[in-house]
Amino acid sequence: MDAYGPDGSVGTAPYTGLVPHTPKINQQLARYGVKFGIYRDGAFTERLFPFDAIPRIIDAGTWQTLERGLAQRVDALNAYLRDIYGDRQIVRDGVVPEDFAFASSGYLPQCVGIAPPDGIYSHISGIDLVEGADGTWYVLEDNLRIPSGASYPLIARSLCRRCDDTTFRRVPVVDNRDYGARLKAVMDHVNRGGINVVLTPGRYNAAYFEHAYLAEQADALLATPDELFCEDGRLYYRDASGMSRVGAVYRRVSDEFLDPLCFRPDSLIGVPNLMAAYRAGSVAVLNAPGNGAADDKGIYYFVPKMVEYYLGERPILSNAPTYLPFYPDDLAYVLDHADTLVIKDVAEAGGYGVVFGSSLDAAGLEALKRAVRAEPRRFIAQEVVDFTCLPTYMGGEVVPRKADLRAFVLSGATTTVWASGLSRYAREEGSAIVNSSQGGGFKDTWVLSR
């Protein structure tokens, strides 16, 4: 469980030492451009990603269990991606229904037969968890395409040290400054010969700050699409000083925009022929195109079965109790209990497409049921998990707010879990929607070393 004492302390070291510095830290975050961009109603706006200096604190024993469970889960998901774009044995064995697996909007036929370096599809995985009121940790989502968020606790911890380094001398917190080195090690491991680059669509992307910051931390070049080109089946970076071959590209561009000659022809933020170079094996692409086949919210239902199927192990971490309307029995249950469930559109992200049945009136509930009946593959339903609130400094006082945890798992020579993470909290009292795109804030995550 989170390691908070009854008086808001960690052992003899109060976590509240950083609270007075919260305004100053947020001012520094704004100065460094730590913002989150939102596209809404056809307009792009940026706002500060609000930071709360009271961290989430996880004791060493709990973290060891989470670490093993997260690595196990990502290993199984990588095995599934190798299989679904290869022999499809899990489908032939009936573990995942064929018409369910290939109906996923994230499944890309263009990626069939492409073997990424070392068989790694998801190099940087963002796994969203919550801690239930009973102390059980539940996985809510697996983000395997271009999960964002690692930069925020990284820079926040740096600013907290600058404001009050005595706190970190008193509290045995695992140092999180190794994320850049971990990311570089993963890129180097799959590099096909050449430099490492971070591909950003540019200044107006919602996570542009992170692209630039992580490129610096991982000693990689930050590149926009116009700075990259393919020639003779290889990818190159070009600037005023000349051109360099690229061996690994950490892309922060969605699949459908990545290569206009392979996916959307109207994309202006892709690199023509990138997929041809990737297929030829001359460049590694992190994360691999097509990973959406495994982070579809419907496929999430099958991940515990994947752990048993591919690894021969019992899952260490649990899914939230989930129903799949694709199955007739689950559909009947969902329709009968829609007023107590959370209904999620499997193709949505960022907190969009999430509906709490208890928040709807009779007409809204009936409309939701009609949508589920009409397109059962489009939805999953989950029991409402009563997850913990964390103490949060707002308006001059400490108040409880719901919070989740995005843990970052990196797969290279081995699968490792970064001893930190992005804890997102709901700013509205009683709300369970913590996503930054929905107005949430963030906390640092302290993993205790003992």
Q: What is the pLDDT of residue 134?
A: 85
Which parts of the chain register pLDDT below 50?
1-14
Q: What is the pLDDT of residue 7?
A: 36
Amino acid at site 34: V
Q: How far is CA 397 from the centre of its chain?
A: 30
Cα gap 28→293, rounded to integer Å:
39
Report the predicted TM-score, pTM, of the whole model to 2 decimal places.
0.92
Cα angle value 104/110/116 (rounded, 5°)? 100
Other CB atoms within 10 Å distance of the CB of residue 19:
16
Domains in the chain: ranges and CATH: 9-314+386-447 (no CATH), 321-383 (3.30.1490.270)
